[in-house]
A and B are shown apart, each in its own frame.
Chain A
């Protein structure tokens, strides 16, 4: 994202279950800002602007958080929702250091119809998110994988994913992200061929 979004919040005085419940009744959302120095600031904000902020910035774009006039750079780290009402319960802002790399989960989006699927195979997506390591401003919103050339028995491992510059995938084992496997129809056809 080219321009940093600025979002205003105010410091929260009341702490704990009772105070936060009263805030939610008043249409506000309690939250917390975790700073890089270990100093955590409880904050509060209106719900609708927060919903709009999340729509625009998501979890991967750095925002400028204005806490009663003091501007800090951060990411939306976690949004807690009500189990069945369409309401936000709590938000975590994670203060970032522009020079320091951090690990974050980003979604994998698959595009195109693979060659193998057209031949009767099945595309299996084993991972919908992957963990990457990057500086806050370099974090991509998503990883796009084009599967058009994928034939049956073709798979994509995490080490083979093409990522932007200054972004690296974080993993222990080199696991498969997706694969095109033979479908029921193609297995039957193969058996008939053998006969």
Chain B
């Protein structure tokens, strides 16, 4: 699964997701892509799960690009522990996503097959998405 090779600090402040995606909001590599319509935090498990759903449907041929990277750390406290005593331990990675962000792109397969693959990938994600086709196709 995707995760940073090394980080400068173990934990991060949570922050908030606001606004629209001003970068990474157009199809850059493939012919068809999946675009986020909501804010959300997509974990590395979800990114991988959606990718597998997609490539298993495509079977062979084509190329898939993942346009997001889970570079934010998630922390959690153990069960049955009182509040306080510091921040919880790192327990996973997520990619913060804003509406408009392209999540995946596909090239080199039939457009209907690619649409179905992206639809299957969208079921694995925690946010609303839409399929966008590159202009001129």
A interface vs B, CB < 8 Å? Answer: 58, 82-84, 107
Chain B, 104-119, contact with A by CB distance < 8 Å: what is the 0/1 string? 0000000000000000
Chain B residues proximal to chain A, CB less than 8 Å: 20-22, 25, 35-37, 99-100, 130, 136
Most buried by A among B21, B35, B100, B130: B100
Check A83 against B25 for contact (C-beta < 8 Å): yes
Q: How far is the CA of A174 from the CA of B21 in the complex (A)?
A: 36
Question: In the complex, A83→B35 CA distance in Å?
Answer: 9
Q: Is the CB of B136 within 8 A of A84?
A: no
A83 and B136 contacting across the interface, CB-CB below 8 Å? no
Contacts of A84 in B (CB 8 A): 20-21, 25, 35-37, 99-100, 130
Which residues of A sit under 8 angstroms from B37, Cβ to Cβ?
84
Docked Cα-Cα span, A82 to B136, in Å, equals 18
Residues of A with C-beta under 8 A to B36: 84
CA A84 to CA B35, docked complex, whole Å: 8
> Can you give 10 contacting A-B residue pairs, CB < 8 Å?
A82-B100, A83-B22, A83-B100, A84-B20, A84-B21, A84-B25, A84-B36, A84-B99, A84-B100, A84-B130
**B136–A107 CB distance below 8 A:** yes
List the 9 closest pairs (A to B, CB-CB), nearest first: A83-B100, A84-B100, A83-B25, A83-B20, A84-B99, A83-B21, A84-B37, A107-B136, A84-B35
